[in-house]
Amino acid sequence: MPKVKVYVTLKPGILDPQGATVAKALKSLGFRDVEDVRIGKFIELYMSDVEEDEIPQQVEEMCRKLLANPVIENYSFEIEK
């Protein structure tokens, strides 16, 4: 079954309060070398009965329609066979 790994990240410049909180928590745990943290989503899709060459187009559409908010997020994906 083909597996697709989708990475959704906030665009540069978009505030990431969750990341800022994690950066602060890491520093207070003693990890003083951490400068910045950005938190995104890592989505694994398992697909069946699909022509392999249709996957990129389908996943692109899924990202635009549901998985990412293209106004504030970037996305990329990798297909594993």
Smallest CA-to-CA distance from 44 within 58, 59, 57 is with: 59
Residue 79 binds a second copy (CB under 8 A): no
Contacts of 6 (CB under 8 A, 6+ apart): 41, 42, 43, 44, 45, 59, 62, 63, 67, 75, 76, 77
Question: What does the per-residue mask of binding to a second copy show for 11-50, with x meaning CB under 8 A?
Answer: --------x--x--xx--x-x-xxxxxxxxxxxxxxxxxx
Residue 53 binds a second copy (CB under 8 A): no
Residues in touch with a second copy (CB under 8 A): 1, 7-9, 19, 22, 25-26, 29, 31, 33-50, 58, 61-62, 65-67
